[in-house]
Amino acid sequence: MDHEKVLDNAWHTPGVTAIELPAVDVNQVLADHYELDRELTFTRTMLWDMEARKAAAPDVYIPTVVAPGSATKFPSTRHEELEDFTRVSDQRLWGDRDRFGTIIEHVRLDHGHQRAFFVGDSEFRDVEATTDQPLFHVEHSVAGAENRPLNLWRIMVLTEAVDQHLVDVFTKMGEDPYLRVFIEVYLEKDLGVSFRRK
C-alpha cells in the first residue's frame, strides 16, 4: 500500500471532508501558554519521537480520544526509513464525542521525512470497524528547524458531501491555544517536565 498516495487521492476527492489545521509552533505555544518546571527547548527530534510513540500507543498519548487499554498494535515491517503496521483502537467519534467506535488504521511512519500516515479501513483480520461514522485518513508530520519544530495535522473523512458539522469540529480544534494532549503527555511522561497551563 502507498499510504501517502491514498491520502493525497482522498484529499483531492470532491465531497470528502478534508481539513488541515494551522501549523503549531511548539516552542512558541510553550512560551505563550505554559509555565514549565525547568528550561526546555522542544526539538524536532523530540516531536518526531513523540509521533512515533503515539502511533504505536494511541491510548497512552491521546487519552482524551482513545479508550484506555483499547489499542492493539500489530507487528511492524521495516523497509529502510519506512515502518508499516496496523493498529486497532476504540476512539471517540468525530461527530459525537460522547460515543466510541472501533477504528482500524494502517500506519506508515516515514522516519526519513518525519511523516506519519494513518489509512482507515473497514475490516482487518476478524475485526470490523464502526459504521457509526465514515472511514477517515490522517497525517501527522513534523516540519521546521530542529530548535523550532512545527506540528502539522490534516484529516480526510470519506464523506460523499462535505460535512459542515465536522468542519466546525476540526476548526474548533485548530483554534485551541494550547498544545494537543499528546505533546503534553510526552512532556510529562517521557521528558519528566511538569507544567501548568497559563
Structure confidence by residue, pLDDT tens digits, 8-19:
999 999 999 999
Instruction: Please tell me the predicted confidence (pLDDT) of residue 172.
Output: 95
State the Cα–Cα distance between residues 197 and 63, nearest whole angstrom.
Answer: 18
Domains annotated on the chain, with CATH: 3-193 (3.30.530.20)
The pTM (predicted TM-score) of the whole model is 0.96
Structure confidence by residue, pLDDT tens digits, 64-110:
999 999 999 999 999 999 999 999 999 999 999 999 999 999 999 99
Q: Which residues pair with 133 in a beta bridge?
A: none
State the Cα–Cα distance between residues 153 and 62, nearest whole angstrom.
Answer: 14
Structure confidence by residue, pLDDT tens digits, 112-145:
999 999 999 999 999 999 999 999 999 999 999 9
